[in-house]
Structure 1
């Protein structure tokens, strides 16, 4: 296929490879901490960056511009206060703050203590939020003013003492701590007089200590807490910041991604810390203000997901599109169809597409700047044949798995060994479910990523799709089981099957659900149903399409036939007597999909 990498293409990259070798060697040395007594991780790395660039800007948002020294001392004050309140190494501190400097300073402080930040998804509410908290048994929580209502709704379901329920005002608290509500302790006020020197605890954090819990959707329908250790932080920050991007103190990363996810927090912020570079953030992504922000912060590097890039490409063309200082960008999910257009229109010379999973043990990076690839990985990996219905890898007559040929697509498996350990989840049983044994030889172990990749040569791969019971939309992983469970709470729905479907010229898969009414189609009020879904689940998880079925077909083992449902998607010409309904952008109800509506969706009339 056209994206296959040839010998000629590799030869043309020799000057790039030669130039990169010194920093690759240095980066690999920094990334691969072996000594169990060597201090490392987030807190230690930030302290090293502060020594390297004390007066350079570390965090930038709106009018708030903080240097490395200011951020480091601020985090130190919080860390000393947490220690004085009995928070110690290995304790879990839940963090529930939207994208702003206070979120990162708080996470940094917790890391310096040696405690573990449970990074709550700020879209979570009700049962999902209570589950996420109770899953990790936090001894404390730090809540932003903007999320107090969401936390208060589940507060009685979580065992956290009021003395360890800290509040952070929704303002520039570096200048003024604000006023906290009843039953909350104002964190910034409480730590104002604490020492601002580096706590001794930051020298007692080692590569095998846990830094964060990052939540990921699971097939159980509720989030799982992935373990992210400080050693992995070092590998991530050095691999992306030093080896892939060659970040320097004069660089500034602009990131609008949610910082409770690994791409924003570990890849983007880690890259900035690795280079002692600036990190500019925004509360929520804005396509219309994106390039104005880039110019305002004098950004040189962008953090992205594919959906973000598509929104920018969809903006009206401007003479200023390439008038900025950005030369490189790092992220994932940029589709081949938008790759070249983005690169040429906005004048970004290096798209460092990556592949990584917060709960996995492998990463790919497009260091050599080829188009349409996630790059290569220094870790051991294979693509294997899989069952298209179940998504499970296929074993041959010998009980082993079969590798796919170059150019073919297969299920990505990553070898688990000393070079690439699997940290897994807080629940060992959940971890064991993603480990495959005796894959190519007796005794070997591999992590099942659940993702389809294509081998395009010279160790490079292309991302194809996700398997299993999650799909990706708006840069978020959506659990089909969670969507199904919420829909089944509706009194007029007795069966629900959720899945992802493709809409032309969009990234990821949009949510769709096949539903069976409890009584009849006439009992469904589609405006009320949409309102119910929007109240109960995050915006990105609300199904954009509904298929109403009198009876749900199942397999011989009583599993829903999701493969067929996905294939027929929202085309009424393929769904027989089952009517299809769509939530069109800007409307407040689901409308029936006719041939005309379908044609308008395919033609891009509606901007999803």
Structure 2
């Protein structure tokens, strides 16, 4: 479709945002606002007491039944000695209890720290300490990891409550089911918009996870964004969620937004490509969210009859790559896709309601795309010391102005919070949130995601976008998924391109080399390949790069075969070739 078509769609999006959405946004926001997540539940109990609220496996809870559970869990929290402002950790896979405990925390004025289920060892100790958690509600299948990560003394300082999942709760651990039977519901605590209701953690791909402060205000803002700009839930909708509930997209943008409509949510423990479409049909789902490479996993799966004739009317999320957008939409007959961009701790976000493939939304006045060093993310200021905006067709750092309306609540670590704030960007005293993301500005104010700062690298004096290269690599015959990054090579400047790839039986190294030669510039080529059966991703299906950068192309550091583009063909790297490359005897 031409630029004129998307120009008009962009105008319609802007009109919707400013005329319809923004006034609704402003009217709700004041420090004395009574809204929190539990407020929406109370509305639904009054309006839809006997309608389905939560579905998990064969378990079904109506809003009235869910309300009784929330009351009981709030009593359990209070009986453990937790008072307003105290925090507890949630460490379990997706399940009904997870969401009900969060709502019970809001009701009781306590704070739920949402622990990434993949964290272990030092990382697990860190996230518990940062949150100052007094108790842990934990799925029984995670107890071994928990016990091996903490010392006896550290465990002794925590109240541990087990929840039966794939495994039963051991007899020496308090069981939530038993505690619930003897609990007395606590009175609802009065909370303000500025008080914390939960802690969410960054993925920790470049260090230990940071705890982002989620206030009642931020949580409610996310529900607004998800409902009125994203999904537009109806009470009759059935939401199917496979995303981890410790992550903002699945929890706040998706499920919490649906609380405003009172529709049912189907909770899946973990994403399963083989179960996905049969579940969609079983529960008659109408909406689902996505993140990262989830859509690619579905597209790479075998065709099944259930993927046709479903009732899905809209999907929304972030990370649907341009190279598969239209293929995914056509194969699975998705009427509407709304790609979003945002960060858990971010100030503002974008949404592409028009469904333009590859775009994340529209550029507006409070958001700035500024010139920077594309590898380091360091701002390029002019002679007056001010930032300069990029031009159409250019890529820059996305920063967003911090104001009373667009707040930055930061992390529990104040030093980490300060590192995200840029000052004096366009005038003395202004403050901007540094997203750490590179965005590209297109004609008519459209935006696309380019890369994370630190992922883009320089080679042969040129900036290389890992996203751009990955999109081309993924089009090669037999490539199921590719993760592109830069690696250090001794006696060279910059970083050379490398790709970790998961491939099918049809993949051929010679054909792939031809594809690279025809479609990529010399500085863009992945000179090194790592073929693997399992891609390294975060819990939200985003590619991990830091550990792979450390492995480099040394064949002795993993079991995966590693290859080098030697001339016009890929050659498997052995110890001798590795040393020749590092010594500079092999030129490329």
For Structure 1 versus Structure 2, the TM-score category normalised by the shorter chain is 0.7 to 0.9
Deviations 1:17-36 (A, max 9, x none): 67x98863674257x420x3
Question: How many Å separate the matches in 1 of 2:35 and 2:320?
Answer: 32
Match of 1:582 among 523, 530, 544: 530
Rate the CA distance shift 1:448–1:25 in 2: closer, same or farther, 3 A: closer
Whether contact under 8 Å (2:317, 2:338) holds in the other structure is yes
1:44-59 to 2 correspondence within 5 Å? 44-59=39-54
1:188 aligns with 2:188: no
1:468 to partner: Cα distance: 2.9
SS of residue matched to 2:429:
coil
1:554-602: CA deviation from partner (whole Å, max 9, x where unpaired): 9xxxxxx6x5234799999999xx995734217992223256998799x
Shift of 1:376: 3.5
C-alpha distance in 2 between matches for 1:327 and 1:394: 44
Give the alignment's TM-score, normalised by structure 2.
0.79
How many residues align structurally?
516
Q: Counterparts of 1:583 and 1:369 in 2: how far apart (Å)?
A: 34
Q: Please state how far the C-alpha of 1:448 moved relative to its aligned partner.
A: 0.6
SS at match of 1:235: helix
Name the structure 2 match of 1:591.
561
Which TM-score applies when normalising by structure 1?
Answer: 0.76
CA shift at 1:452, angstroms? Answer: 1.1
Matching residue of 2:270: 284
What pairs with 1:84-99 in structure 2 (closer than 5 Å)? 84-99=79-94
**1:8 Cα deviation (Å)?**
3.7
Aligned match for 2:201, one of 209, 215, 239: 215
Instruction: After superposition, give the CA deviation of every residue in 1:396-416 in whole Å (9 maximum; x if it has no partner).
Output: 111111101133221100101
Select the residue among 263, 273, 288 that pairs with 1:302: 288
- Tell me, in whole angstroms, the C-alpha distance in 2 between the residues paired with 1:357 and 1:335: 18
Whether the 8 Å contact between 1:406 and 1:457 is mirrored in structure 2 is yes
Q: Say whether residues 1:167 and 2:155 are aligned partners.
A: no
Unaligned runs of 5+ in 1: 173-177, 472-498, 515-546, 555-560, 602-608
Work out whether residues 362 and 379 of structure 1, in 8 Å CA contact, stay in contact via their aligned partners in 2.
Answer: no
User: Aligned in 2, Cα 1:329/1:431: closer, same or farther, shift over 3 Å?
Assistant: same
Determine the C-alpha separation between the residues in 1 that align with 2:347 and 2:81.
33
Q: CA deviation at 1:227?
A: 1.1
1:226-375 matches, cutoff 5 A: 226-318=212-304, 320-375=306-361
Any idea what SS the aligned residue of 1:125 has? Answer: coil
Deviations 1:249-270 (A, max 9, x none): 1111111111111111111111
> 1:456: Cα distance to partner?
3.0
Distance 1:442 1:179 in 2: 58
SS of 2:94 mapped into structure 1 = coil
CA 1:9/1:421 → structure 2, altered by over 3 Å: closer, same or farther?
Answer: closer
Check if 1:564 corresponds to 2:537: no
Does the CA contact (< 8 Å) of 2:140 and 2:169 recur in 1? no
Q: Quick check: 1:105 aligned with 2:100?
A: yes
Q: Which residue of 2 aligns with 1:24?
A: 21
Cα offsets for 1:367-408 (capped at 9, x unmatched) = 344433222377711000111332212111111111011332
Measured in 2, the distance between the counterparts of 1:600 and 1:42 equals 56
Question: Which runs of 5 or more residues in structure 2 are unaligned?
Answer: 458-465, 502-512, 536-557, 573-588
Aligned to 1:274, the other structure's residue is in SS state coil
Secondary structure at the aligned position of 1:212 is classed as strand
Q: Distance in 1 between matches of 2:386 and 2:19?
A: 40
Deviates more, 1:261-270 or 1:160-169: 160-169
Matched, 1:154 2:149: yes
Alpha carbons of 1:594 and 1:450: their partners in 2 closer, same or farther (altered >3 Å)?
A: closer
**Are 2:148 and 1:200 aligned?**
no
**Structure 1 residues 36-85: Cα deviation after superposition (integer angstroms, max 9, x where no partner):** 33322222222223223222222112211111222222121111221233
> Does the CA-based 8 Å contact 1:215-1:224 persist in structure 2?
yes
For 1:379 and 1:53, the matched residues in 2 are separated by: 40
- 8 A Cα contact 1:140 1:161, kept in partner: no
Instruction: Tell me the secondary structure at the aligned position of residue 51 of structure 1.
Output: helix
Q: Which residue of 1 aligns with 2:437?
A: 451
Q: CA deviation at 1:138?
A: 0.9
